[in-house]
Copies of this chain bind each other. A is one copy, B any other.
Amino acid sequence: MIAREAPPWRGPARVAHPTDEGDTASVTETAYACLERDFARIAVLEDAAGILGWDARTTMPLGSADGRAEQLAALRGLVHETVTAERLAERLDAAEAERETLDPWQVANLREMRRTRIHAAAVPRDLVIARAKATARAEIVWREARRTSDFALLRPHLEEVLGLQRAIGQAKGAALGIPAYDALLDQYDPGLRQSRVDALFGPLRRILPDLIAQAQERQGRSAPPRPIEGAFPVEAQRALAETLMRAAGFDFTRGRLDVSLHPFCGGATGDVRITTRYDGTDFTRALMGVLHETGHALYEQGRPAAWQRQPVGRARGMTLHESQSLLIEMQACRSREFLGFLSPLIGRQFGREDPAWSPENLFRLYTRVAPGPIRVDADEVTYPAHILLRYDLERAMIAGDLAVADLPGAFKAGMKALLGLTVTDDADGCLQDIHWPSGGWGYFPTYTLGAVTAAQLFAAACEADAEIRPGLARGDFAPLVGWLRAHVHAAGSSRETDEIVTAATGRPADLDAFLAHLRRRYLGADA
């Protein structure tokens, strides 16, 4: 209703208003200043898409999916147009000439702008469209294929997606001067290369089987933990989750907690929304899920305030993002200190005492090692095995060394080799994840790189501030989150992942802290 200016008492205003900012640069403006404006506009459109995406997964009526897809495609099209416009390339070049006038954050911002442009401009338009269509179709077919455990149904779609991912990797690789798989990694974690992943995953692959066996052997010596039994009203679970989010420093004036089928952290700049899914007969999973997403949200809420809508103000990449969720969930909230604080809160919230949520039993529930076929159900010790398998398989597929037709068998063989499990059903095997059908090749490694980085950051934080662990024991996250804000969140994308981790911990991420953590918690002093 453009011509009818629907006012605030009637519904959303639909008036055509120009924005305050002109589209044409005044002659006195620097190229860099124009770029900041271009990217601020991009960020605002991405924020709009962020809220629409959140709505689609929490709120939207089912029949509105097509309309929403059009809205999101329109916004993405506008972002893509802006990033790939010739004018932006010219401004990037002109801004290089202004380098001496820029401060270090502006220089880093310029670097991130260029990185953004390379990724967007590297892929030909036809390929981008083909990818969007193929993954949209494959995601829909995947849901049905998983439900019926019918890999044959998905196979042609996955082959199509793989072909497109390979082409995208090659196109981006050519633009970046790196191999195709490296280019796919670079999409999710700027600067990440296969050589770096291999250097960490190689030793892990050798050490992990023994560690799993020893942890299981040790756990087998005592009776299993008491199970959680009874009814746990969703409203009480939600209230407890919000209490813990507040304790962790989540800012509810700029964020929300809601429900969705698959938990996620989304929303927009200054409006960070996490979700969970409640089970009325067991509060433990939703509770730790919320704390995990809170870790992501704290990173988003802690990004540098002055650079919120600029590339340099973004979270650095998915390795650091996963490190923040896993640090809060695995390092802080599954610790004996925090569970000692949590235990009486649970009793108070549900209005009864139960030995199932004694600090000791909670710790045993939350650190139970039990190899199983499903990645998202995996414990902290066996989880890396799921990632190693997927990393091997997706590299082989991108390289052309593994045909999609052979994926089910290779997946089963890998599960047998890595965890000793016999998977009979593809629904519990290579059909369990949405990542590959939806085009997320190169993403899986960041989960375990995040776990490794989380352990190193947490160890450094606890060493730097002796108040962090005692703080967790009284539900006071301020010392921990203060350290994370200063050493991780506030850095935004001003430095590379390795530089941020080195500045925070003295060295790039290695396996030492992660393995020490697992050994202490599952084999040693904490076990």
Contact = CB atoms under 8 A, between A and B. Distances in A.
Contact of A13 (B41, B72, B271): B72
Interface string A64-87: 101110111111111111011000
A203 interface: no
Interface string A249-264: 0011111100000101
A61 interface: yes
Contact of A4 (B44, B47, B84, B318): B318
A147 interface: no
Contacts of A51: 51-52, 55, 68, 71
Contact of A16 (B41, B47, B79, B435): B79
A9 B254 contact: no
Interface in A1-23: 1-5, 7-20, 23
B1 A64 contact: no
Nearest to A255: B61
A445 interface: no
A351 interface: no
A419 interface: no
Interface in A77-123: 77-81, 83-84, 115-116, 118-120
B77 A17 contact: yes
Contacts of A265: 10-11
A46 interface: yes
Interface stretch (A186-194, A211-219, A342-350): A186-194
Contacts of A16: 76, 79-80, 83-84, 120
B78 A78 contact: yes
Interface stretch (A125-133, A407-415, A516-524): A125-133
A194 to B, nearest CB: 17
B3 A120 contact: yes
Chain B CB within 10 Å, residue with most, of A3, A62, A256, A271: A3
Interface in A267-309: 267-271
Interface in A306-355: 314-315, 317-318
A476 B495 CA distance: 65
Contacts of A169: none
A296 B302 CA distance: 42
Contact of A61 (B17, B68, B271): B271
A435 B10 CA distance: 10
A49 interface: yes
Nearest to A442: B5
A127 to B, nearest CB: 10
A17 B73 contact: yes
Nearest to A47: B71
Contact of A66 (B49, B270, B443): B270
Nearest to A68: B271
A73 B7 contact: no
A10 B9 CA distance: 36
Interface in A367-420: none
A176 to B, nearest CB: 11
Give the one of A12, A77, A189, A265 with max B CB within 10 A: A12
Contacts of A70: 44, 47
Nearest to A121: B16
Nearest to A271: B64
A438 interface: yes
A53 interface: yes
A68 B13 CA distance: 13
A372 B265 CA distance: 48
B48 A75 contact: yes
Contacts of A429: none
B63 A2 contact: no
B44 A74 contact: yes
A173 interface: no
Nearest to A172: B3
B52 A48 contact: yes
20 contacts: A3-B120, A7-B435, A7-B438, A7-B440, A8-B438, A9-B434, A9-B435, A11-B50, A11-B264, A12-B49, A12-B266, A16-B79, A16-B83, A18-B80, A44-B74, A48-B48, A59-B256, A61-B254, A64-B270, A68-B271
Given A9-B435, A18-B125, A61-B252, 8 more contacts: A2-B79, A3-B186, A8-B434, A9-B264, A12-B266, A18-B129, A48-B71, A60-B271
